[in-house]
């Protein structure tokens, strides 16, 4: 069958490859096929026998544990490991702090300066302020023990160079993709982002994936917006 004709994914839908358009895409291992696909696929029409199912869902823990490369039972030595933080380099720290604290609600919980190396680190947490310890030592210990910290690295002087820009990972060659924020009401959140003049990569109404959005921070890094409950 020609690639353009599409194919039926057993138990799912008829799929056809579509070109990349800069929007979020489903790439990699397709459910129940065992085939690594280099193309991006769209749903042409539902299977006549099975309803369409969203990629990435409806797989049991056992099925997930059987995916090649996955260690079904992590080593006991990793039991207390915590995915603590991710780091983004930013050009203008004032603009970035404004975006992450005012627009997304993070709190700045620690700052470290390295004047000889001409850079500073800013650690942010998306938590209730009442949870943040007031004592400096206790706050550092707390910060290093919880998941979801965002570290912003500012190399001094980059904000003064009009030609300087960081690669956001979503232009060629692609690498880093995005971070993600979960909100209780995605419609209300996106309406607020619109009112604040936030730059969107994908609005809820764009494309076929109506349950998520992407906004961009001052360095054009993508931030996915989701809500836990179905819309």
Share of the chain above pLDDT 90, in %: 73
pLDDT in tens, 42-56: 433 333 333 333 444
Chain centroid offset of residue 46 CA? 28
- Same fold flag, 85-160 and 178-226: yes
For range 191-196, the mean pLDDT: 98
CATH class, range 178-226 = alpha beta
Angle at 127 between CA 125 and CA 132, to 5 degrees: 80
- pLDDT for 204 equals 97
CA distance 226 to 213: 7
Which range of 16-30, 61-75, 136-150 scores highest in mean pLDDT? It is 136-150
191: annotated active-site residue:
no
CA distance 53 to 55: 6
| Other C-beta atoms lying within 10 Å of the C-beta of residue 160 | 9
Give the torsion sign (CA, 78, 79, 80, 84). positive
Q: List the chain domain ranges.
A: 8-61, 85-160, 178-226
- pLDDT for 37 equals 36
- For residue 180, the surrounding DSSP H or E stretch is strand 178-182
CATH code for the structural domain at 85-160: 3.10.180.10
Query: CA of 203: how far to CAs of 82, 217, 228, in Å?
Result: 32, 15, 18
């Amino acid at each position: 069958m020609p690639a353009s004709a599409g194919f039926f994914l057993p138990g799912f839908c008829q799929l056809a490859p579509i070109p990349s358009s800069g929007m979020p895409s489903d790439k990699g291992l397709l459910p129940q096929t065992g085939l690594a696909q280099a193309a991006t696929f769209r749903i042409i029409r539902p299977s006549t026998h099975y309803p369409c199912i969203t990629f990435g869902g409806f797989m049991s823990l056992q099925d997930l544990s059987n995916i090649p490369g996955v260690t079904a039972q992590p080593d006991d030595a990793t039991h207390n490991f915590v995915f603590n933080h991710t780091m983004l380099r930013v050009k203008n720290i004032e603009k970035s702090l404004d975006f992450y604290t005012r627009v997304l609600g993070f709190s700045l919980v620690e700052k470290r300066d390295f004047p000889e190396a001409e850079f500073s680190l800013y650690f942010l947490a998306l938590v209730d302020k009442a949870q943040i310890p007031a004592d400096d030592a206790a706050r550092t210990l707390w910060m290093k023990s919880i998941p979801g910290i965002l570290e912003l690295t500012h190399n001094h002087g980059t904000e003064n160079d009009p030609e300087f820009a960081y690669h956001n990972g979503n232009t060629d060659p692609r690498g880093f993709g995005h971070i993600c924020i979960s909100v209780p009401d995605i419609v209300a959140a996106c309406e607020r982002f619109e009112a604040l003049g936030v730059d969107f990569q994908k609005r809820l109404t764009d494309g076929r994936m109506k349950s998520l959005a992407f906004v961009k921070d001052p360095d054009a890094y993508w931030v996915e917006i989701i809500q836990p409950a179905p819309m």
